[in-house]
Amino acid sequence: MDPWSRLRVHTSARIGLGRVGDGLPTSQLLEFQMAHARARDSVHMPFDAAMVAGNLAPLNLPVITVQSRAANRAEFLQRPDYGRKLNAQSETGLFDAANNAGANTSPDVVFILADGLSARAVHENGADMVRQTIALLGDDWSIGPVILAHQGRVALGDEIASRVKAKISVVLIGERPGLSSADSLGAYLTFAPKPGCSNAQRNCISNIRPAGFPVCDAAHKLVYLMTECRKNSLSGVKLKDNFTARNLVETTLALPE
């Protein structure tokens, strides 16, 4: 019996792969190549904003689609700075679109879903993360339009949030795929977002996916951070993350029946 088999059931990491001569067994090599192909596919997968918008429909919130200055995937990968800024059309039209949609143009929070480096992560986990987070928020939170961003990076949320005058931004973005985590979503929280914010001004929840940090638990943690962010008027390294299992139980018990 393989002594590693009892350990493999507890992790998706590649452990005890074995060897044949100075190489991997054929089965392990094929599995590695498949995982690598899935990761590459996740990076190049087109962002299906229409599908995500459909999954967000039960929220009855305006949904606005924007585009970064990266015109296509190749440009997005080669010029990270283009993914941090809106293109000219989105730059001039975002505020008008929010007004025409009847959205709150000075909300407490705006949710931005961006494809990042894994559109698959947003397809599979993005809308669910927004829905569960909003379900946990109190009625005293005003929520802006949900923004769907093509070819977007984290900092794109700063410009978007400043244009809709949101006090807090939450960017839900596809993270760089690993060989066992092609569907990993990241959540980035920023207080008083505006162009030029640094990563030190953000709080991050990473590896949101069924086999990592489940959406339900991640939503509880995000609401905790959002509440502390608003209460203390800060985010990032200055905001202490004291979220514990007790917070998770307390917020679960506070959910409506």
Which tens digits make up the pLDDT trace of 11-59? 777 778 888 888 888 888 888 888 888 888 888 899 999 999 999 999 9
Please indicate, yes or no, if residue 19 is contained in any of the structural domains.
no
Q: What is the extent of the structural domain holding 66? A: 43-253
Please indicate, yes or no, if residue 24 is contained in any of the structural domains.
no
CA dihedral 18, 22, 28, 29 (to 10 degrees): 170
257 confidence band (pLDDT: 50, 70, 90): very low
Q: What is the pLDDT of residues 204-252, one digit of tens each?
A: 999 999 989 999 999 999 999 999 999 999 999 999 888 775 555 555 5
pLDDT reported for residue 95? 66
Please tell me whether 31 is known to bind a ligand.
no
66 confidence band (pLDDT: 50, 70, 90): very high
* Ramachandran area for residue 231 (φ above 0: left; ψ -120 to 50: alpha; else beta): alpha
Please indicate, yes or no, if residue 1 is contained in any of the structural domains.
no
97 confidence band (pLDDT: 50, 70, 90): low
Please tell me whether 216 is known to bind a ligand.
no
Q: What is the pLDDT of residues 113-162, one digit of tens each?
A: 999 999 999 999 999 999 999 999 988 999 999 999 999 999 999 999 99
The letter for the amino acid at 252 is T
Please indicate, yes or no, if residue 214 is contained in any of the structural domains.
yes
253 confidence band (pLDDT: 50, 70, 90): very low
Which of residues 101 and 16 earns the better pLDDT score?
16
pLDDT exceeds 80 at position 185: yes
Looking at residues 179-208, what average pLDDT do you find? Answer: 93
Residue for token pair 């800060």: 234
Backbone angles phi, psi at 166, to 5 degrees: -80, 140
Number of domains in the chain: 1
Please tell me whether 197 is known to bind a ligand.
no
CATH of the domain at 164: 3.40.50.11240
pLDDT reported for residue 41? 84
Contacts of 150 (CB under 8 A, 6+ apart): 47, 49, 65, 66, 67, 68, 114, 115
pTM of this structure = 0.86
pLDDT exceeds 90 at position 174: yes
Please indicate, yes or no, if residue 17 is contained in any of the structural domains.
no
Please indicate, yes or no, if residue 185 is contained in any of the structural domains.
yes
Please indicate, yes or no, if residue 189 is contained in any of the structural domains.
yes
98 confidence band (pLDDT: 50, 70, 90): low
Please indicate, yes or no, if residue 2 is contained in any of the structural domains.
no
Separation between Cα atoms, residue 227 and residue 233, nearest integer Å:
10
Contact 172, 112 (CB under 8 A): yes
Separation between Cα atoms, residue 124 and residue 82, nearest integer Å:
25
Residue for token pair 């569907």: 183
pLDDT reported for residue 105? 66
